Amino acid sequence: MKTRGILIVVSGFAGSGKGTLMKQLMEQYDNYALSISATTRKPRGAEVDGKEYFFKTTEEFEKMIAQGELIEYANYVGNYYGTPKAYVEEQLASGKDVVLEIEIQGALKVKEQFPETLLLFVTPPNATILKERLVGRGTETMEVVEMRMRRAAEEAEGILSYDYILVNDDLQECVLQMHHIIQSEHYKTARNAAFIQQIGKELKGNVKGE
């Protein structure tokens, strides 16, 4: 019954720990492919081009937009971020469940284009922990931390557009919950229309042959 993979969008406030969550999900299970986004933001800490992101100049990024190479793109706190199309399509066709770790504007655009997309939102247990994580990371100025906190407050208004919310209190538990939600999604009747049609046909054939 294994067919095309599921497209999954994971969003969450900066500092929700969703990066670590994604890393664990990829390490612990085989059937996922994590899409690597393009961005005009500068590499942070030990980030490597082609691993965390494809780092682009604004000119390069705008060329990707013009050539229709992105499924979606958005501006987030002064930089472009976008999802390259080719990898996602390849992986879905090969049966992998593809995860896009993107912010809310992009998430809604993906859902509009592909209504069967599963939308997951990750949040820390409370706002204090969020700020502590952002400051503790030590890679951003206080000004950027404040901008990201403001953005989080705006994003909180959009959570109801998502299918599921995950509270990232205990990392391992959260990884497991995410995996279970995605696995259950495979058994939705709407995702198994071809199988349902086939078994219906077979049963009709049997009745006629009685």
- The residue ranges that bind ligand 5GP (CB under 6 A) are 14, 37, 41, 72, 74, 76, 81-83, 101-103, 105-106
Residue 87 or 186: the one with the smaller Cβ distance to ligand 5GP is 87
- Minimum Å gap between C-beta 77 and ligand 5GP is 7
- Minimum Å gap between C-beta 41 and ligand 5GP is 5
- Minimum Å gap between C-beta 86 and ligand 5GP is 14
Contact 125, 73 (CB under 8 A): no
- Minimum Å gap between C-beta 137 and ligand 5GP is 10
- Which amino acid is residue 132, in one-letter code? E
Residue 133 or 186: the one with the smaller Cβ distance to ligand 5GP is 133
Residue 145 or 192: the one with the smaller Cβ distance to ligand 5GP is 145
Residue 88 or 182: the one with the smaller Cβ distance to ligand 5GP is 88
Tokens of 146: 């404040």
Residue 97 or 103: the one with the smaller Cβ distance to ligand 5GP is 103
- Minimum Å gap between C-beta 101 and ligand 5GP is 5
Residue nearest to ligand 5GP (CB): 106
